[in-house]
Structure 1
Amino acid sequence: MPNIALAAGVLNQIPLDWKGNQARIISIIQEAQQNQVAILCLPELCLTGYGCEDQFLATYTSEKAWESLIQLLPHTQHILVWVGLPVFFEGKLYNVAACLANGKLISLIPKQYLANDGVHYETRWFNPWPAHQRSVLSTSLGEIPMGDYRILADGISIGIEICQDAWEGENRPAHSLAQRGVSVICSPTASHFAFAKSKTRQRLAIEGSQIIQGSYVFANVLGNESGRTIFDGDAYVVHQGQICAETQRFSFKDSQLIVASVEINCQTQVADDLIVANVQWPLSNQTYPHFEAAPWEGTVNIKEEEFARAVSLGLWDYVRKSYSYGWVISLSGGADSSAIATLCYLAIRLAYKELGWEGIQSKMAYIPWIMDVSTEKDFIARMLTTAYQGTENSSDQTRTSAKALAECIGTTHYDWNIDVLVKEYRGIIEKAIGRSLTWEQDDITLQNVQARLRSPSVWMLANINNALLLATSNRSEASVGYATMDGDTSGSISPIAGIDKTFIRQWLIWMEKIGLDGKLSMPGLSHVNSLEPSAELRPLTSKQVDEEDLMPYPILNAIERWAFYDKLSPENCLKNLIQEYGANFSEDQLTAFCSRFFRLWARNQWKRERYAPGFHVDEYSLDPKSWLRFPILSAGLEKDIKP
């Protein structure tokens, strides 16, 4: 029973970045070789990037991936490496893990089960490979075995489960591989972030090792790879049910490698599904660091920690991968824009902590002024610009809130008034229609003109700075259309469109009082946390409050989840509402809330279609591009509520 070093490598790749993706793969292979690693597992589709979307259907994509694969071969001396790519076989496209060892392509093992729910549309591009089916692919390298194979290397039998394969319960390939005598399973994965989802992946890795009574090597994608989804970058080496090594999630580095030395049982069943890889790796004689999860993983505030770290990494990757010079936010002093400004600040702080100033300069080398900045404080001021755009309906409290947060963070902050613009536009329309606009008759019109007139100015700042304008609407608002198109929805990306208002408010309080790791808190949030959420678009004497315009946010969020995650009928949503909130509200009130929700939901699908791309962070999303499709025109759902 030899001791060998097993390794999992996570990679922050970019779709269709042939040179960059290949360079990062070669770098992590070399790091593994320096650590005397025998078997290295890399993430699913890491040669192309997982998020290539319909570009997978272009044969050009798989051809370029194949070229990159061949160029990797000279870098695989004395190591066995699993690399993911798309491969056409007999006119069909497959998601494949390629086994490379000692400079040769040993085998291609396709994915058997495809993810096709939520943000996943794999069956649009790929075909599932039938279990136990085996064939060969004719290539310039010769006849390459392709199918449900095992690899025999230096007496050790190795099998594969690709991402969704491991989620299939009794049907997962691990059970068949256990019967065929494998000692190691490698699991190349691209499993997106959602709250608490990493615990499921960890459990599946542990169960996989228990099924084969051997070792399980799991490697996930890292970072905001292609725009909407964020990947944890979690990886595990598990031996007989015990985690030997794991990554610290949400790293700002290009890659992470974890290594563990394990004692492998070499008993192998010889059969026609066994492909021999002639590689002799060094026996492990190193003592490896103790790769363990970060301390915050064990805190009671894990959801708050995950949200902060996932969205911060998502913002950081988005700005650098789009070659932008920073972010611009219309900072209203309210919860949503304050949360986004805080997340941008955390992105810089976390990147600086992990990469150091030289690392940041290297990643941001495309920015013309990057070498002129020498401190974290100056970098924040250059990267993050905020603007408070007041009207006669804005309160002193929100102006103070915006200023306090901007000073706490250190943004470049502006404060101006747009009343002159509002009056000018109002005058133009009044003259055109021949009457005065009034709040009694034109409430929505007069509210929306203020929100929309905030957009051009911040777009100008974004253009001047070559920066990303960030939209500030949340998921609760999106569900009922409580947002102004071309106003607070203006932006390149919408960072909090995937999370509800209730959690945003809770998270801001946590950030003020506790903060990341119980250390990185934000006292500048005290002002916004004392305010009642308000759009501040009506005259101050009206005392406009969001929840009075709509309904209490916890009720709104509950209906949304029941309807579109649990997929309950409107009638059953109302029954649940009465059961859960009947002690605090009358049945008539709850019926009115439910009716209002479904009426506004159906009426405002067109708004959700126009939202800037948002980050997926929760179990579900309202994004019609990636999660929840609903007809733009419909008879609606309100009619299905029976009083």
Structure 2
Amino acid sequence: MKIALAQFNPTVGDFAGNSARILDLACQAKQRGAELAVFSELCLCGYLPQDLLERPAFLERNRTELACLAKRISLPAIVGYAGRAQDSTGKPAANNAALIADGRVVFEQSKMLLPTYDVFDESRYFQPAKSQHVFPFGGEQLGITICEDIWNDKNFWAKRLYECDPVAELVGKGATLLLNISASPYTIDKRNLRRAMLQSLARSHRRPIVYVNQVGGNDSLVFDGSSVALTADGPVAAQARIFEEDLVLFDTATGRGDVRTQPEDELEVAYYALVCGTHDYVCKCGFRQVLVGLSGGIDSAVVAAIAAAAVGPENVLGVAMPGPYSSEGSLRDARQLAQNLGIQFLVLPIEEVFGSYRRTLQHVFEGRPEDVTEENLQARIRGNFLMALSNKFGSLVLSTGNKSEMAVGYCTLYGDMAGGLAVISDVPKTMVYELAGLINRRANGREVIPASTLTKPPSAELRPNQTDQDTLPPYDVLDRILKAYIEGVRSPQEIADHYGFSLELVREVALRVDHNEYKRKQAPPGLKITSRAFSVGRPFPIAQKFVP
């Protein structure tokens, strides 16, 4: 049987658009000789609809659109949608895979394993399947699973999260071909883990596997696609592209299929994720143009480069807002970056407005030395300028704070944190430098980010001779502490022992992370690319007194 792995980019709630894309890909698959098309998890309504699933009208639209799709589709297909749970108690919805053929739904399978970790909270919405069933089709016994259902193999995981194993149940019931429709978000190195897990499943059960993943960005999550088909002994027989819609075929009889090349460098993959996530967030939210405050520093340079790649340089406006402590070199670097990227460039000095603030507050602040208050005023003036431009011209502001700064609160509420999307809020500072180097290398010898931006000490330039390291440890030290504390959930003592850092330093960093949760709760949504991001998947209390 020839199977089409139909990897596409749905938008949550866009039933008409998603259905049209499913019909088009099914038509293409049929023209190429496919006998079955397989789409991704909840592709009809888009993943993840969150509390839209609590609206009866949303669930009803899923059902009516599926019925309409079944009548119109030109090829048998497996489609993910939010269906009605069959139980008399529990949640009203089920996360379903429907096999549609001959104008109707001929088989359905609900998702059994509902994840409640990281960004997932599916038990909030769905009733799990009680059992798995095979279905005869095209000379095969189909074993259809949905995303998490395949992430519980006892031969792969040292400690499983669930008692039951849907794949083992299906194989026990005679499944000859395992299919999984998925919406598995990208994180760094997850592609390798996913492939190793799928290969283990194929070899353990001696069954070929067809895995179809969602692609594209929805809010903070970015889906890499990377749909794949494996033969029973584990080798890749078909492979779709990353971060692009794709249609690849796999022939179960020959064990052969279309194989697209994928980049091996994970830094390059992370760059593609950020570009894809930025593009889809901007476009799916109805914007065409974006604004980036250009300080002349590394963070804003990388965000501007990502924005230009995502929406086109003609749709990016870089705004330099020099203040009393800004260097001539920073303004020069910002202007040079804009020229290199081919984006629009605007200069709005803040010194006059800052002076007005100081004069207005002079009497109230009399007798008190200047401190972080005056620094934050400058950042908030810049935030106001950007939001004014956004309001007037209908452009989306991209904030430029990195994960290291966001972690320890080295950022200003309503200032540099202002915006509609935090592009690099899950990118540590050391990785920002790596991305800058990659962006320049991709330009084939042409300098995009100025060399001086890469080499000068990072500084907010909010007071004379300021550098980040006046307030923070060196970033190569800070980022190792943060990764261990946030992503590894290690204690300060464990981190200090492992790296040889002083316990006092590590504990100070940990406390800064915990005490600045109130800032991050007010930050714009950020694109998630690490195993644990601040914007989603890390609920943490603000008013708490635990000392790590």
Structure 2: gaps (5+ residues): 155-163
Deviations 1:432-456 (A, max 9, x none): 34x265xxx3311111111111112
Structure 2: which amino acid aligns with 1:315? Answer: T
Deviations 1:603-631 (A, max 9, x none): 321101101000000111122xx222222
The alpha-carbon deviation at position 212 of structure 1 amounts to 4.0
Q: Secondary structure at the match of 1:417?
A: coil
The alpha-carbon deviation at position 457 of structure 1 amounts to 1.4
- Which of the residues 193, 203, 208 maps onto 1:200? 193
User: Which residue in 2 is equivalent to 1:597?
Assistant: 509
User: Which residue in 1 is equivalent to 2:231?
Assistant: 239
User: Which residue in 2 is equivalent to 1:425?
Assistant: 357
**8 A Cα contact 1:400 1:527, kept in partner:** no
Is 1:560 aligned with 2:479?
Answer: no
User: Which residue in 2 is equivalent to 1:585?
Assistant: none
**8 A Cα contact 2:133 2:173, kept in partner:** no
Deviations 1:473-493 (A, max 9, x none): 111111111001111100011
**8 A Cα contact 2:78 2:97, kept in partner:** no
**8 A Cα contact 1:475 1:497, kept in partner:** yes
**8 A Cα contact 2:313 2:342, kept in partner:** yes
The alpha-carbon deviation at position 113 of structure 1 amounts to 0.7
User: Which residue in 2 is equivalent to 1:309?
Assistant: 272
The alpha-carbon deviation at position 522 of structure 1 amounts to 4.2
Q: Secondary structure at the match of 2:236?
A: strand
Q: Secondary structure at the match of 1:161?
A: strand
Distance 1:216 1:76 in 2: 24
**8 A Cα contact 2:217 2:280, kept in partner:** yes
**8 A Cα contact 1:214 1:264, kept in partner:** no
Distance 2:345 2:469 in 1: 29
User: Which residue in 2 is equivalent to 1:478?
Assistant: 406
Cα distance, 1:129–1:423 mapped onto 2, change above 3 Å: same
Deviations 1:381-421 (A, max 9, x none): 3x000111111201122112111110000111012321111
**8 A Cα contact 2:492 2:503, kept in partner:** no
User: Which residue in 2 is equivalent to 1:125?
Assistant: 125
- Which of the residues 335, 343, 359 maps onto 2:306? 343
Deviations 1:257-302 (A, max 9, x none): 110223189xxxxxxxxxxxxxxxxxxxxxx9843223xx23xxx1
Cα distance, 1:486–1:88 mapped onto 2, change above 3 Å: same
Map 1:513-592 to 2 at 5 A.
Answer: 514-515=441-442, 519=444, 522-539=447-464, 543-578=465-500, 581=501, 590-592=502-504
Distance 1:187 1:310 in 2: 23
- Which of the residues 182, 193, 217 maps onto 1:189? 182
Deviations 1:56-112 (A, max 9, x none): 122222211000110011234553434333323234322111111222211210111
Cα distance, 1:32–1:510 mapped onto 2, change above 3 Å: closer
Distance 1:305 1:63 in 2: 41
User: Which residue in 2 is equivalent to 1:158?
Assistant: 142
- Which of the residues 379, 384, 390 maps onto 2:322? 390
Distance 1:233 1:125 in 2: 24
Distance 1:58 1:80 in 2: 27
Structure 2: which amino acid aligns with 1:330? Answer: G
Structure 2: which amino acid aligns with 1:515? Answer: R
Deviations 1:108-135 (A, max 9, x none): 101111121111111111122223xxxx
**8 A Cα contact 1:77 1:103, kept in partner:** no
Give the count of matched residue pairs. 535
TM-score by length of 1: 0.80
**8 A Cα contact 1:177 1:212, kept in partner:** no
Structure 1: which amino acid aligns with 2:481? Answer: I
Cα distance, 1:200–1:73 mapped onto 2, change above 3 Å: same
- Which of the residues 482, 496, 500 maps onto 2:428? 500
**8 A Cα contact 2:26 2:74, kept in partner:** no
- Which of the residues 203, 210, 217 maps onto 2:203? 210
Q: Secondary structure at the match of 1:454?
A: helix
Distance 2:74 2:511 in 1: 63
User: Which residue in 1 is equivalent to 2:114?
Assistant: 114
Cα distance, 1:499–1:609 mapped onto 2, change above 3 Å: same
User: Which residue in 2 is equivalent to 1:360?
Assistant: none
Distance 1:520 1:18 in 2: 44
Deviations 1:200-226 (A, max 9, x none): 22233333333443321111111012x
TM-score by length of 2: 0.93
User: Which residue in 2 is equivalent to 1:318?
Assistant: 281
Is 1:333 aligned with 2:296?
Answer: yes
**8 A Cα contact 2:301 2:449, kept in partner:** no
For structure 1, which segment, 306-315 or 163-172, has the greater mean C-alpha deviation from structure 2 after superposition? 163-172
Structure 1: which amino acid aligns with 2:30? Answer: Q
Map 1:217-232 to 2 at 5 A.
Answer: 217-225=210-218, 227-232=219-224
Q: Secondary structure at the match of 1:620?
A: coil
Structure 1: gaps (5+ residues): 132-147, 266-287, 349-378, 582-589
Cα distance, 1:447–1:167 mapped onto 2, change above 3 Å: same
**8 A Cα contact 2:277 2:527, kept in partner:** yes
Distance 2:284 2:445 in 1: 26
Identity %: 24
**8 A Cα contact 1:46 1:84, kept in partner:** yes
- Which of the residues 50, 55, 61 maps onto 1:53? 50
Structure 2: which amino acid aligns with 1:293? Answer: T
The alpha-carbon deviation at position 169 of structure 1 amounts to 1.1
Distance 1:461 1:245 in 2: 47
User: Which residue in 2 is equivalent to 1:628?
Assistant: 538
Map 1:326-475 to 2 at 5 A.
Answer: 326-348=289-311, 380-381=313-314, 383-433=315-365, 435=366, 441-475=369-403
Distance 1:569 1:204 in 2: 29
- Which of the residues 3, 6, 11 maps onto 2:3? 6
**8 A Cα contact 1:452 1:484, kept in partner:** yes
**8 A Cα contact 1:209 1:216, kept in partner:** yes
Structure 2: which amino acid aligns with 1:121? Answer: D
**8 A Cα contact 1:62 1:88, kept in partner:** no
Distance 2:230 2:41 in 1: 19
The alpha-carbon deviation at position 520 of structure 1 amounts to 8.2
Distance 2:106 2:182 in 1: 20
User: Which residue in 1 is equivalent to 2:159?
Assistant: none
Distance 2:392 2:86 in 1: 49
Quote the RMSD (CA, aligned, Å). 2.1
**8 A Cα contact 2:26 2:75, kept in partner:** no
**8 A Cα contact 1:603 1:636, kept in partner:** no
Cα distance, 1:319–1:155 mapped onto 2, change above 3 Å: same
Deviating above 6 A after TM superposition, structure 1's stretches of 4 or more consecutive aligned residues are: none
Distance 1:173 1:599 in 2: 42
Structure 2: which amino acid aligns with 1:550? Answer: L
Q: Secondary structure at the match of 2:2?
A: strand
Structure 2: which amino acid aligns with 1:20? Answer: G
User: Which residue in 2 is equivalent to 1:98?
Assistant: 98
Larger Rg: 1
- Which of the residues 160, 170, 175 maps onto 2:168? 175
User: Which residue in 2 is equivalent to 1:368?
Assistant: none
Deviations 1:231-256 (A, max 9, x none): 002211222222221111011xxx32
Map 1:128-143 to 2 at 5 A.
Answer: 128-131=128-131
The alpha-carbon deviation at position 568 of structure 1 amounts to 2.4
